[in-house]
Structure 1
Amino acid sequence: MSASGRSLGGCASCGGRCCREYTVNVTMADVRRLAAGMALHPREFVTLREKDDGDFRFRREGPMYDLRLRHRPDTEGCVFLMEIAPGHARCGAYVHRPMVCATFPAALTRNTVSMRDDTLCGDSNAWNLTLMDLPGLRSDILRNRAAWSEHLRTADRWNALVDASHHSRTHDDLYAFILSSDP
């Protein structure tokens, strides 16, 4: 299902492979939605990883980090992945999940919704486009792009605060900033 409840079709027989093997980078809007909807603090489901092209730093001229969903060491799956039965798993945060998850595996190519061929769950033929709300998916993909634009603008504000400061910031400082930021 997409963020607005539209079925994508191919997930019905899902074993959660994408939730185990993909790195899910999240926007600040995703973090706020998950924190509020799941009644969790971001430190319970987000991890910050050092990355050259990351979005955040914690000290002036320090390394950059990105936000991504945690993976459980026991299942190697996303922290929200629920094991239902052997070979079957579902998202425990489904209604609040990140937009990139809600639109997966759809893509917008030349303003037209298509299914990606480079997924772990098969090529684009694994998905029945006739069962999908393509205009709704297009809208969700555009909303995700807007959320990333907002994310980058707000990350620039965070980094300006860090640069203006004479002391390092913590991960909890960033989480408080994210939770209190207006989109």
Structure 2
Amino acid sequence: MMALATFFPTADTEEFDMLSEFVKNNADLIDLLGLHLAISYLLSGKGEVRFLSAGLGWAAAHSIASYALFFFVGARTTAFHWKYIQTALESNIDLVFYLSMATLVWLFNRSDLNVSTRRLVYALLAFCIFHSFIYEVLYYKFLIRSWQFLITKAVLTGALGVLTTMSYSGIYISQNKNN
């Protein structure tokens, strides 16, 4: 957050500036670096457990930082509003996203990936870095709002999860063929 506030000031206009938003989302590389450090150096145990615990912790920290105050202040009122349901669903989508991202960071460090799986991991990591930019383009340029935006985000994150699972399972299929 400090890097974003220091190096990427917000524009005074309300318009969507594609170049500045693209450059801002490059700061997500710091997230990937932090996740890599957490998986590789801060957690002990088997690799399969380390990336799951790091991803779950990262998702929990994101949910607390992004949604906890919103739920605590707003959801306690007596009036029902659909935005709380949407926010809860978005929090679950973010959980799948951060678990997939942690898995991809762990797969990135593996040396036993075949070439096609490695390329898929690189492409999915690029999506993880620029996911906010992609969502902002969908929101501002294609005017996808509210429930359609949530469904689009769920579909893209679900595809990320499925492709990540395929990459992860490809390791064990190739290991079993070699044995």
TM-score (norm 1): 0.31
Larger radius of gyration: 2
TM-score (norm 2): 0.32
Higher strand share: 1
Higher helix share: 2
